[in-house]
């Protein structure tokens, strides 16, 4: 988003205050399931002035005055690095909040929700609608096990996480700050070497984040809540911590199903837009755009359900797919201890339309490997790029029962529906796909407007009832993420889409 576009959005957000007040859209928050939170530290005090292109004169109590950004139009208020008591980040005109280094919500309370680690603190970080939070290189936000983030925006006043480069009106770039990491206690499949079957009480199955070894996730609480992300944008994230180890736009590690994820956009991530390392969290209304690696990456035993997803990247720079799915983690006899089983319904994937950099890189609409399961329903994978196929399935463990399933899915890729050049389960993709109901591998021509809004050829496809796969899903009569021009769930809170502000 250019500096001028950002200020336009901020002015619109200010105008919405008189109509919507400062409340969100309802919290739907479940308990984190581990006793009382620490008290004190409410934040949010202090009046401040500004708006209309003028930086506020000061920062709220509890935040550090770091001067101004955006050519002097926004006061930069530093967020505490250790948030070990409940804290509210208030919306104020002329104010943006900086992640000054690493902001950690709570301390790691361990994998057992019934017995949190003694001497550790938990906290709730609440972010009001319309708040802008930014970071620079090597700066990121982490929510540790046992704590919560409540980022509950509205369609007219989304909460925006972005970079200093963006606020200062720089060119649109990726990898300008770290992103968001949320660590929970839902089960993952990283277990001790002696484990041969997934334990009934998996408190000893936990793992460190590959990019930052001090962050741990996993545990015994599949329904635990890490809070709410609703009407949220995350832009220009994905800082490279070490060679080939970048942070994602949002990283979900062992996050439980009590967490609410709805109306979230990740744009311009240098790694994956979102990655789910194990856990059970569900999500609706995801917009994942212009990522460099993958749109949605799932592994370590992830079993959540995701509905209504728009995923596209025109010119990714890494080995890139809309969906990359694995069960990477601990195995017994070559089979994952806890098999990943993502479930996705009502989606549109357009991959690598302008990609020319193929050297050692592979690009597909979707790749399944290392023993993952998958249920894919009511969607489209397409690309006009003549070197990108729609689906690649690898290794015998991936096609072992219960195998991935496809229902009411349409393919239209320039390199054909299936990747058949890697000598690894080459026939499996076609066999599994054609076994499903209402699928079409060839002969379908996309008629989307604006990349993802259904046209006649999408409206004419038969949809499958997704509730047979997951009770989280809503019944729809259409494939794709957006039923037609009158379906406007993506309007008002996103960037970079037709009719929206640029990113």
Annotate 357-424 with DSSP letters as a single string: --TT---EEEEE-TT---EEEEEEEEE--TT--SEEE-SHHHHSSSPPEEEEEEEEETT-SB---SSS
Rg (CA), the chain: 22
pLDDT band at 18 (very low <50, low <70, confident <90, very high): very low
pLDDT score of 16 more than 90: no
Reference 132, options 36, 7, 313; nearest CA is 7
Pairing of strands 74-79, 375-383: unpaired
To which residue do tokens 């979230």 refer?
264
Our CA angle for 412, 417, 422, nearest 5°, is 145
CA–chain centroid gap for 274, Å, is 3
Which residues are CB-contacts of 488 (< 8 A; sequence separation ≥ 6)? none
Percent of the chain predicted with pLDDT > 70: 89
Looking up tokens 């899915």 gives 409
Residue 123: closest CA among 226, 8, 51, 208: 226
pLDDT mean over 228-239: 96
CA–CA dist 242, 26 (Å, integer): 39
Kindly tell me if the per-residue pLDDT of 86 is higher than 90: yes
* pLDDT score recorded for residue 213: 86
> How far are the Cα atoms of 210, 259, 260, 342 from residue 220, in angstroms, in the given order?
21, 15, 19, 19
Position 211 confidence tier, pLDDT thresholds 50, 70, 90: confident
- Average pLDDT, stretch 110-119? 97
Q: Is the pLDDT of residue 375 over 50?
A: yes
Name residue, tokens 């990121």: 140
CA–CA separation, 495 vs 267, rounded Å?
8
Give the angle 341-445-421 at the CA atoms, nearest 5°: 55
If you average pLDDT over residues 207-231, what whole number do you get?
94
Give the mean model confidence (pLDDT) for residues 13-25.
Answer: 40
- Please tell me the predicted confidence (pLDDT) of residue 333: 86
Q: Which residue has the higher pLDDT, 212 or 383?
A: 383
Look-up: residue for tokens 């890697």?
422
Q: Answer yes or no: is pLDDT of 3 > 90.
A: no
pLDDT band at 443, cuts 50/70/90? very high
Span of 228-237, 245-254, 435-444 with lowest mean pLDDT: 245-254
Round the average pLDDT of the chain to a whole number and report it. 89
- Percent of the residues in the chain that have a pLDDT greater than 90, as a whole number: 79
pLDDT over 80 at 171, yes or no: yes
Dihedrals φ, ψ of 209, to 5°?
-60, 130
- The confidence band for 360, taking pLDDT boundaries of 50, 70 and 90, is low
Residue 227 near residue 87, CB atoms below 8 Å: no
Whether the link from the prior residue into 476 is cis, omega within 30° of 0, is no
**Over the stretch 287-338, which tens digit does the pLDDT of each residue have?**
999 999 999 999 999 999 999 999 999 999 888 999 999 998 999 988 899 9
pLDDT value at position 13?
46
How crowded is the C-beta side of 151, counted as CA atoms within 13 Å?
25
- Whether residue 301 contacts residue 326, with contact meaning beta carbons closer than 8 Å, is answered with no
Is residue 49 over pLDDT 80?
no
Nearest Cα to Cα of residue 398 among 421, 434, 361, 366: 366
Whether pLDDT at 38 is above 70:
no
Confidence of residue 35 (pLDDT cuts 50, 70, 90): very low
SS3 204: helix
Task: Look up the pTM and report it.
Answer: 0.91
> What is the residue whose two structure tokens read 């990655």?
275
Q: What is the pLDDT of residue 59?
A: 98
Q: What is the pLDDT, as a whole number, of residue 500?
A: 83
Whether residue 5 has pLDDT greater than 90: no
What's the maximum distance between 2 C-alpha atoms anywhere in the chain? 65
- Best CA proximity match to 465, nearest among 397, 408, 427: 408
Q: Which residues touch 170 (CB under 8 Å, ≥6 apart)?
A: none
- Please, which pLDDT band fits residue 418 given cuts at 50, 70 and 90? very high
In the structure, what pLDDT confidence band is assigned to residue 11 with cuts at 50, 70 and 90?
very low
3-state SS class at 166: helix
- State how far the Cα of 501 lies from the Cα of 496, in Å rounded to an integer: 6
Average pLDDT over residues 132-152: 97
d(CA 205, CA 224): 16
């Amino acid at each position: 988003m250019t500096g001028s576009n950002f200020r336009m959005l901020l002015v619109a957000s200010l105008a919405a205050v008189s109509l919507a007040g400062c409340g969100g859209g309802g919290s739907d928050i479940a308990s984190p399931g581990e006793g009382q939170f620490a008290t004190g530290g409410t934040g949010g005090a202090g009046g401040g002035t500004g708006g209309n292109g003028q930086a506020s004169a000061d920062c709220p109590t509890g935040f550090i005055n770091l001067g101004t950004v955006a050519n002097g139009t926004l006061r930069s208020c530093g967020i505490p690095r250790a948030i070990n008591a409940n804290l509210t980040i208030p919306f104020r005109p002329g104010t943006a909040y900086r992640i000054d280094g690493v902001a950690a919500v709570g301390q790691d309370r361990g994998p057992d929700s019934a017995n949190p680690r003694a001497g550790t603190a938990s906290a709730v970080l609440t972010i009001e609608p319309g708040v802008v939070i930014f970071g620079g290189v090597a700066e990121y936000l982490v929510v540790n096990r046992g704590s919560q983030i409540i980022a509950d925006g509205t369609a007219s006043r989304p909460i925006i996480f972005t970079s200093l480069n963006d606020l200062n009106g720089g060119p649109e770039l990726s990898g300008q700050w770290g992103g968001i990491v949320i660590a929970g206690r839902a089960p993952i499949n990283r277990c001790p070497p002696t484990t041969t079957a997934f334990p009934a009480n998996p408190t000893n199955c936990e793992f460190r984040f590959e990019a930052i070894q001090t962050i741990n996730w996993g545990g015994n609480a599949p329904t635990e809540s890490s809070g709410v992300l609703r009407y949220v944008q995350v832009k220009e994230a994905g800082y490279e911590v070490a060679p080939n180890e970048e942070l994602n736009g949002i990283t979900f590690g062992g996050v439980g199903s009590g967490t609410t994820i709805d109306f979230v956009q990740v744009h311009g991530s240098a790694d994956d837009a979102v990655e789910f390392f194990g856990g059970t969290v569900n999500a609706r209304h995801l917009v994942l755009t212009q990522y460099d690696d993958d749109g949605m990456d799932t592994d370590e035993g992830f079993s959540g359900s995701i509905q209504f997803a728009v995923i596209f990247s025109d010119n990714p720079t890494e080995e890139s797919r809309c969906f990359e799915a694995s069960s990477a983690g601990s195995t017994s006899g070559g089979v994952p201890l806890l098999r990943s089983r993502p479930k996705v319904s009502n989606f549109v994937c357009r991959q690598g339309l302008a990609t020319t950099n193929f050297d050692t890189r592979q690009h597909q609409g979707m790749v399944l490997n290392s023993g993952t399961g998958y249920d894919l329903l009511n969607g489209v994978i397409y690309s006009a790029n003549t070197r990108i196929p729609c689906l690649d399935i690898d290794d015998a463990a991936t096609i072992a029962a219960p195998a991935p399933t496809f229902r009411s899915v349409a393919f239209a890729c320039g390199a054909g529906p299936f990747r058949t050049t890697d000598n690894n389960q080459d026939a499996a993709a076609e066999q599994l796909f054609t076994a499903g109901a209402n699928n079409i591998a060839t002969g379908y021509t996309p008629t989307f407007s604006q990349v993802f809004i259904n046209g006649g050829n999408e409206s004419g496809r038969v949809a499958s009832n997704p509730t047979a796969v997951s009770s989280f899903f809503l019944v729809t009569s259409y494939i794709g993420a957006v039923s037609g021009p009158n379906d406007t769930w993506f309007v008002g809170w996103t960037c970079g889409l037709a009719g929206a502000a640029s990113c």
